[in-house]
Amino acid sequence: MELRQLESFITTSEELHFTRASVKLGITQPSLSHQIKTLEDELGVLLFDRIGKKIALTEAGMILFRHCKLAFGNLASAVDEIHELQQIERGTLTVGALPGELNQLVSSLLLDFHQRYPKVRIKLIGDEDIVNQVLQNELDVALTIFPVEDDRVRTIPLYRENFYFVAASDHPYAGRSAINFEDILKVPIVMFPETHRCRQLIDTTCTEAGRKLVPLIETTTIESLFKLVRSGAGGTILSRTLFDMYDYDDLFRIPIQNPALSREVGIAYHRDKYMGKAALGFIDLITAHVKELKQEAAPSYGGN
């Protein structure tokens, strides 16, 4: 197998279209088809199912694609490491974060990072399946919710924080010093969808209590969630980080008890990933930023 063939295979797997893949690679479609056919003949298996003009990866093709992505990622890491030996501080840093407040936390640090590493291109990717992208070597580092139960991933804890019931100032629960989780289920709730990691934490708590959370309204964006809650459509459950990030004067927060809800946030990266100066610099930057936030407002992280 030649690198050129594998590169053609990866591009075709991503595009699932020979014409688009050939254009992206800068070669003719017959040349691309020949490379794929040669690769299939060498392996003795079909890599793509061809149905008319449509193609799809076979099971063998999916196995090869997964390993090729890791192999090419390792080659890219080797190039980065060699460049750093030559003191070339450039290249690309790809950072992932769960959508929502974690994504915005990373976004707030992009300018500082650029000023420290002006020659480094940085990409920020928001995705719910962030750990899988780390495992596929598509990200250098990721900000996610712990635990991450995979031995291939190394983690760096950043902070633990509580969740709160949040509503408009005229809500019937306004003025309480604390609220039982059971009481939250008795009033209209506005929430993120079930795919959201914070929602999953809340749903798990409900399941353990033998209950089910049925939101009145579900929305995928932070802005629309706050707009609905501020209009009195219902209360919600938010992390302290997200509540402080917007700091609306017309909203109040109440600590949740019986049970309390909390989460641990941290950095994740692939165990075999070479961590260059840019990646280590980003980790130092976000670690220092979180430490500063803790000193400015200690209750925001791990307290009430």
Q: pLDDT of the chain along its 304 residues, tens only?
A: 788 899 999 999 999 988 889 999 999 999 999 999 999 999 999 999 987 778 899 999 999 999 998 888 888 777 777 766 555 566 789 999 998 888 889 999 999 999 988 888 899 999 888 999 999 889 999 999 999 989 999 999 999 999 999 999 999 999 999 999 999 999 999 999 998 888 998 999 899 888 899 999 999 999 999 999 999 999 999 998 889 888 899 999 999 999 999 999 999 999 988 888 889 999 999 999 998 887 776 544 444 4
Q: What are the phi and psi torsion angles at 148 (to 5°)?
A: -110, 105
Tell me the sheet residues that pair with 162.
Answer: 262
Whether residue 84 is contained in a domain is answered as no
Answer yes or no: is 288 within a domain.
yes
Residue at 149 is within a domain: yes
The count of domains in the chain is 3
Same domain (yes/no): 269, 255? no
Domain that holds residue 132: 90-158+264-300
Residue 188 lies in a domain: yes
**46, 73, 100 - which closes a domain:** 73
Same domain, 168 and 249: yes
Domain presence at residue 83:
no
Residues 173 and 253 grouped into a single domain: yes
176 and 256 co-located in one domain: yes
Going 98 to 99 to 101 to 107, the CA torsion angle's sign is positive
Q: Is residue 79 domain-resident? A: no
Distance CA 134, CA 136 (A): 5
pTM for the structure as a whole: 0.66
pLDDT at 303: 46
* Pair 145, 28 in one domain: no
CA dihedral 140, 144, 148, 150 (to 10 degrees): -20
> Is the same domain home to 190 and 233?
yes
* Structure token pair of residue 12: 């075709």
Q: Tell me what pLDDT residue 82 has.
A: 73
Residue 78 belongs to some domain of the structure: no
> CATH number for the domain including 137?
3.40.190.10
Query: Is 255 within a domain?
Result: yes
Answer for the pair 198, 275: CB distance below 8 angstroms, yes or no: no
Tell me the CATH number at 14.
1.10.10.10
Q: Are 69 and 39 within one domain? A: yes
68 and 190, same domain (yes or no):
no
Question: Are 233 and 141 found together in one domain?
Answer: no
CA 30 to chain centre: 38
Same domain, 49 and 184: no
